[in-house]
Structures are given as C-alpha cells and as structure tokens.
Amino acid sequence: MEKRPAAKEQGRGLSRPPLSCRTSLRCGGMAPLIASCLILSLTGAAPAAPPARVMSLNVCTDQLAMLLAAPGQLVSVSELASDPGLSYHSALAASYPHNRGLAEEVLVAKPDIVVTGAYSLHNTTPLLRRLGYRIEEFQYSQTLDTIPGEIRRMGTILGAGSRAEGMAATFESDLSRIESERCGADPAAIAYDQNGIAMGAGSLVDSAMQAAGLRNIAAELGYVGMAPFPLELLVEKRPDIVVLPEPLADTPALADLIASHPAIRALGQGTLRIHLPRGSASCGGPFVIEAVKALADARRRIVSCQATGGHAP
Amino acid sequence: MSRRSLILALSACVGVFFLLSLLTGPANYGPVDSLRALVAGGDEAAAIILREIRLPRALLGLMVGFSLGASGAALQGFLRNPLAEPGIIGVSASASLGAVTVFYSGLAGASILALPAGALVGAVASVLLLLAIAARHGSTLTLILSGVALTSLAGALTSLALNLSPNPFASYEIIFWLLGSLKDRSMVHVVIALPLMAAGAMLLFASSRALDALTLGEESAASLGIDLRRARLFVVGGVALMVGAATAVAGAIGFVGLVMPHLIRPLTDRMPGSLILPAGLGGAALLLAADVAVRVAIPARELNVGVLTALIGAPFFLWLVARTRREAF
C-alpha cells in the first residue's frame, strides 16, 4: 500500500506546467495568447477568459473535455468518443459533432485551443503547431495518480477550474476510501484481454488493481504494459480473479474468442470471472474509479472483511 | 520399402511428434506428470492445460497436416501436375476468404460454425474454377499461374474484408488467415473440423482407383471402366472438405501438401492412389513437428506455423519448378 508515496504526492500536488508554454514562441505572434501562456505558467491555474472554441482530437481528451466544458464551448470530439468499447462517456458524445483528427478539419473549425493525446496523431500535432494553433497535449494515463492532475489541467484549459477541482477531489477521496477499506491478504488477479494480451506492470489496469488491493500476476511475472500472456500460464497460476474483455464491436473477431476458451471455463468456481464497466479503463478520467470499484467488489467476494476487520488508513 | 512398413514407420513418426506436441508449452510439467494429468483428468491446472489447450492443439496439428498432405497427393495425381498443392493453387486462400466473409460480417452471429461453412464454400468454388481452367488448357504452368493469381486475389480480398470490419481486432487477424496458426485452439475446433475431414478423406480414398487409372490418360481410364465424372466429383468434394475444414480452424497453412507427396512418392509404387494415405501421415508428422518448433524457437513471441512451413516449402517449390522445366524442355 505504501509502495508509491512519492508518485502520489507528485500526481496530487498540482497539474503539470501547461504544454502551451513550450510552444509560446510559436503561438503565431498573438500577444494575448502568449500573455495567457505566461500567466498560466506563473500561477498554474489562472482564471483567464475561457476559450470560446475548443476542439478535441483524442478519445481520452474527448471525455475529459465533455465532462468539463461549458455548453457550446466544445466544437467537436473525435469519432472514437462514441465507441462504447473505448469511451466510457460514449452516450455524451452523441450530442457533439465528430472529427477524424485531420488537420484540415481543425483549419475549417478554427478553434482557440486543440486538446489531444501525446501519442496519437503525431503528424497532425506538429503541423497544427506550425500553423499557429494552440495545442494542449495530454500524456496517456498509466497510473491512477496522474488522473486528478489531468482533470485539473483540463479544467484550467477550459476555464472550468472549480468544477474540475470538485471532480478531482471526489476521485481522490473515492480512491483513498477504497484503499482504506482493503483488508486481509491480497488475492491474485489478471486482466486477460482479446488475443490473450495481459495488462502487465505500468498499465492503467495494473494501477487500478494495486488500488483495489489485488496482486497482478502478469506484473509479478515480469510482464510490462500490454503483453502476450500464454493461456497455459494463466491456468497454471490459477488467479483468484480473471478480468475478461467484452467484445469491442457488434461484429465478431477471433480475438474475442479467448474469453470463452474452455480452459478458462474449466478453472471452475474457484476463479472469479468479471468484466470491467465498458470503457472504464481505456483512458485516464474520473470514470476509472468505476473500474477500481468493480475490482474492489470482486475482491470483497473473495476476501471477507468481517473476519479480519479493516485496518486504519 | 513395402507399403505396410512405410505406413507403420510414418505412423510411428506421427506418434512421436504428437507426443512431443503434448509435452511442449510454457507451463513446465515433466513428461510423466503431463501424461498422468492427461489420462486422469480432474480440475487440476495440469489436467486443464493438457486436456483443454495442448490436446486440441496436437489433434488439430495431426488432422490439419493429414488433410493438407492427402489433398496435395490427390491434387497432384488428379491434375497430373507435380506443382499442384492446396496452398499454391489457391484452395486454402479461397477457403480463408470464404470463412472471413461469413464470420466477420456477423451474419451468423459470433458462431464458430460460420467458419467451416464459409471455408467450404470458398474451397469448393476455387477447386471448380481450377478444374475449369485445367480442362481448357492442359499445360502445367497455366494451372499453377492461375492458382497463383487466385491466391493473390483471395488474399487481397481477405485483407480487404478484415480491414472493413468495424471490429478493431479484425485487421490484426489478417496474418492468421494468410499464414495460419494452431495457437489457443480448443476442442470445439476439433469437433467442427473432424467430421468434415473424415468425410473428405473417405471421398479421396474412394477415388484412389480412378486416380491410378488416370495416369494412363482420360480415354484409357474411361475404357477401364472408370466413371470420370464421379471421380472428379469425389476429388473436388474431398479436397474442398479437407482443405476447407483445415483452413477454417487453422488458417491457410501452405506447402505441407506440396512437400510431403514428393518426399514420400519415391518410397511407394508411384501410383497416385496409393500415395494418399502415406502423404497424409507425412503431412501430419511435418505439421506437428513444425508446430513444436514454433513453440520452442521463440517462446515469448510465438511464430505463426505457416511461416515455418513456407520457409521449408518455398525453396522446395523453387527447386521443383527448376526440375520440372528441365524435364519439360
């Protein structure tokens, strides 16, 4: 439980310096923007005039932006935002226009700020920067600690600082409540995705398992990130909990068949098979707490707290 | 070598590689423990691994290898073409296309039965097309070139169908359908493939006398009382059933049906009819061995078994082409 205090401090302390400042010289010579960049970097959360038009090009920034933007402020979200397999808030996305992450679409929409992921669209982002657009890149969340910071940072960008602060604080208090409710020995678990890909160390699901009080056997065996994990090894290690995927689309793929492999079924009653709420662990956002809750619920079904009593946080 | 001792020797080979296949895998159990778990069953991890993961894999290696080897021998005999093989003349690729079209469109839900149904349609269509081409142009090379074109076309359409699927995983499955693999199959796959393959094998064995007679030419065969239409129907049906079922459960695995008949033919009386069974057994041994090798070679990132059979088979094919041309001119 006390494995990562340093990282926790960092994540909860304050949002990272806004990325826009790195590019302030390229802000197209627009004095007001540069000024706002400077203010943002000095105060961390300056209530400058909120941008009127914001465009999101990435499914992760889409969801944060939809949760925090004022009505009419968010011009469009990416197509993946309405994919229920990847986007927890796919229902919200129905009321927004969609973009395909193309630079041309940004040129037509002329947003004040573009929010996107650091690893997606690596050709589009430099092009838009060169054209003078203000781009806010978000790193892909791989631990729960960074999520409150990401929420606050999106709040700052959108001029919705207080709403973001509330959302981040709720996430933090929910998380510490779940962490404090753990008791007994940690059960073994694995998240076994399509095609037999396990979520190893350094993945968002691994972080959620740590918070919920589960031992991720993939991480313990040295698997890092999303890695192919032999089905035989899963049966041999016999974890208490197997987190199985739900199909990402209505049309079938062989990749989905692994979840119904007879070997997994043959593990019997001793192994709990669960699903995480769809889209709850594919991006960093307040909804990741739903994945942690599902894992904590599964843990409670295996380790009962009455016997040992919860220990103090 | 007498036919009887050849078949015994090949069966022993198949048995050895089948056993090796059962004993190969990331979970480390000794041979004795593994076999005891396989026989005893129960819900221990070793029993589940042996019965639900390794046994279906070894059975499919045997069945798919046998189907490809026997089909290769039958096609080479029937078309009187040493280069004929389900993978090269486009039967496997067409079966893949059929399976992919039916399965990924979601027409049959996510039912695994969609795979053999689609694969059979694809395989039958391709064999009929090739027979039509062979009937019009007798040349060895025309048939092979048509088959190569058919393979490319079916491969391209398979890729297209998978790219068009809304399921984000579909496009990663192109490599399975074009190269084949036996990874993480289950008894369900064995059950859906076995009856089709058994029926196909029956048809091929039933046509062995006709295949022998056809070595004398169609007219002579007809004068010997061979019903050519019936023979054609049996070979088409047999190859389509065996290759269709094999492709539905393991993807398009190439070259097994090419290599084995040639390796084994010198050990037989060189009659195509009597080659079917030994070529099938040889194919089973080869595929089981290749499937053990891909698991041992790079354990962390398992190769598709079709990569290995192509590495063995493609140079062999080139050598055969060179030899065939030398003999032809």
Give the position of tokens 């694995």.
A190
Report the pLDDT averaged over residues A189-208.
Answer: 94
Q: In 10 A of CB A311, how many CB atoms?
A: 12
Which element (helix H / strand E) includes A98? strand A98-99
What does DSSP assign to residue A224? Answer: B
Outline where B84-171 has alpha helix (H). 91-104, 114-136, 140-164
Backbone angles phi and psi of A46, in degrees to 5: -80, 135
The percent helix, strand, coil of chain A (3-state, each to 5) is: 50, 15, 40
- In terms of CA atoms, which chain B residue is nearest residue A239? B45
Tokens of B302: 């398992």
Distance CA A6, CA B180 (A): 48
Q: Helix axis angle, A161-180 relative to A288-302, nearest 10°?
A: 10
Contacts of A255 in chain B (CB under 8 A): 167, 169-170, 172-173
Backbone angles phi and psi of A54, in degrees to 5: -120, 140
Tokens of B203: 């048809």
- Chain A to chain B Cβ contacts (< 8 Å): 96
Residue B151, amino acid: T
Residue A112, amino acid: D
Strand partners, A189: A216, A241
Q: Helix axis angle, B187-206 relative to B228-250, nearest 10°?
A: 160
Tokens of A213: 């009080």
Tokens of A257: 């068949």
Tokens of A305: 């707290």
Contacts of B26 in chain A (CB under 8 A): 230, 232-233
Distance CA B240, CA B223 (A): 28
Tokens of B165: 């699927």
Strand partners, A155: none
Contacts of A136 (CB under 8 A, 6+ apart): A18, A19, A20, A61, A113, A114, A115, A116, A153, A157
Cβ of B165 within 8 Å of Cβ of A194? The answer is no
> Looking at A278-282, B181-185, B299-303, which range is the least confident one?
B299-303
**pTM score of the predicted model:** 0.84
Percent of chain B residues topping a pLDDT of 70:
98
Contacts of A117 (CB under 8 A, 6+ apart): A57, A58, A59, A60, A61, A137, A138, A139, A140
Q: Is the model's pLDDT at A307 over the cut of 90?
A: no
pLDDT-derived band of residue A32, with 50, 70 and 90 as boundaries? Answer: very low
Going by C-alpha positions, the residue among B207, B221, B325, B182 that lies closest to residue B275 is B207
Q: Measure A157 CA to nearest chain B CA, in Å.
A: 32
Contacts of B4 (CB under 8 A, 6+ apart): none
Distance CA B96, CA B86 (A): 12
Cβ of B184 within 8 Å of Cβ of A238? The answer is no
Q: Domains plus CATH for chain A?
A: 5-174 (3.40.50.1980), 184-308 (3.40.50.1980)
The CATH architecture assigned to B57-328 reads Orthogonal Bundle (1.10)
Q: Is the model's pLDDT at B325 over the cut of 80?
A: no
pLDDT-derived band of residue B133, with 50, 70 and 90 as boundaries? Answer: confident
Tokens of B116: 């053999």
Predicted local confidence at residue A247, as pLDDT: 81
Predicted local confidence at residue B134, as pLDDT: 82
Give pLDDT tens digits for B73-132: 999 999 888 889 999 899 999 999 999 999 998 877 768 888 999 999 999 999 999 888
Residue pair A158/A133 in contact by the 8 Å Cβ criterion: no
pLDDT-derived band of residue A8, with 50, 70 and 90 as boundaries? Answer: very low
Predicted local confidence at residue B193, as pLDDT: 96
Q: What is the ipTM of this complex?
A: 0.85
Report the pLDDT averaged over residues B43-58.
Answer: 93
Residue pair B33/B47 in contact by the 8 Å Cβ criterion: no
Cβ of A232 within 8 Å of Cβ of B25? The answer is yes
Give pLDDT tens digits for A97-132: 999 988 899 999 999 999 999 876 678 888 899 999
Q: Where are the beta strands (DSSP E) in B159-227?
A: none
Who among A230, A238, A257 is closest to B45 (CB)? Answer: A238
Outline where B207-255 has alpha helix (H). 208-214, 218-223, 228-250
Residue pair B310/B254 in contact by the 8 Å Cβ criterion: yes
**Average pLDDT over all residues of chain A:** 83
CA distances from B65 to B38, B81, B285 (A): 23, 21, 7
Q: How many helical (H) and strand (E) elements, i.e. helices and strands, does chain B have?
A: 15, 0
Contacts of B43 in chain A (CB under 8 A): 266-268
Q: Interior CA angle at B178 toward B172 and B181, to 5°?
A: 80
Distance CA B316, CA A272 (A): 50
Predicted local confidence at residue A49, as pLDDT: 84
Q: Measure B155 CA to nearest chain A CA, in Å.
A: 18
Considering only residues B224 and B329, tell me which one the structure prediction assigns the higher pLDDT: B224
Q: Is the model's pLDDT at B327 over the cut of 90?
A: no
3-state DSSP assignment of residue B98: helix
Going by C-alpha positions, the residue among A295, A275, A281, A191 that lies closest to residue A234 is A191
Q: In 10 A of CB A60, how many CB atoms?
A: 28
Backbone angles phi and psi of A242, in degrees to 5: -115, 120
pLDDT-derived band of residue A30, with 50, 70 and 90 as boundaries? Answer: very low
Predicted local confidence at residue A87, as pLDDT: 93
Distance CA B28, CA A143 (A): 33
Contacts of B154 (CB under 8 A, 6+ apart): B90, B93, B94, B96, B97, B122, B126
Going by C-alpha positions, the residue among B22, B82, B78, B80 that lies closest to residue B54 is B22
Q: Which of A83, A235, A240, A258 to mutate to test the interface with B (most CBs of B within 10 A)?
A: A235
Give pLDDT tens digits for B188-203: 999 999 999 999 999 9
> Looking at A57-66, A269-278, B15-24, B215-224, which range is the least confident one?
B215-224
Who among A232, A255, A268 is closest to B49 (CB)? Answer: A232
Backbone angles phi and psi of A144, in degrees to 5: -65, -30
Give pLDDT tens digits for B207-255: 999 999 988 888 888 898 888 889 888 999 999 999 999 999 999 999 9
Predicted local confidence at residue A47, as pLDDT: 52
Give pLDDT tens digits for B141-151: 788 889 999 99
Q: Is the model's pLDDT at A306 over the cut of 70?
A: no
